[in-house]
Amino acid sequence: MSYKMTILFWYLASGAEMVSYQPILPEFLDSLGISQAHLGTLVSMFGLASMMASPVFGKIADKMGQSRLLGKVLNFESSILSKKYNLKGLKLSKTLQKVLTANLFSIAGHLVIINRRNLFSLCVAKILIGIGMSCDGCILGQVGRQILKSSRSRQFSIFFAMRQVGLICFPICFFATGLYNWTGSFEIFGRKIDRFSVPSVIMLLLWIQVLGCNLIFYTNQVFLNNI
Query: What domains appear along the chain, each with residue ranges and CATH number?
Result: 3-65+100-217 (1.20.1250.20)
pLDDT at residue number 87? 40
pLDDT band per the 50, 70, 90 thresholds, residue 219: low
Residue 74 has pLDDT above 50, yes or no: no
End-to-end CA distance of the chain: 11
Per-residue pLDDT tens digits for 130-151: 998 888 877 777 777 767 777 7
Residue 54 phi/psi, 5-degree rounding, is -55, -50
Residue 108 has pLDDT above 90, yes or no: yes
The pLDDT > 90 percentage for the chain reads 20
pTM attached to this predicted model: 0.77
Beta strand segments in the chain, E? 186-188, 191-193
Other CB atoms within a 10 A radius of the CB of residue 219 amount to 13
CB 203 within 8 A of CB 125: no
Calpha distance 155→140 (Å, rounded)? 10
**Average pLDDT rounded to a whole number, residues 215-222:** 58
- Taken in order 30, 34, 37, 41, the sign of the CA dihedral is negative
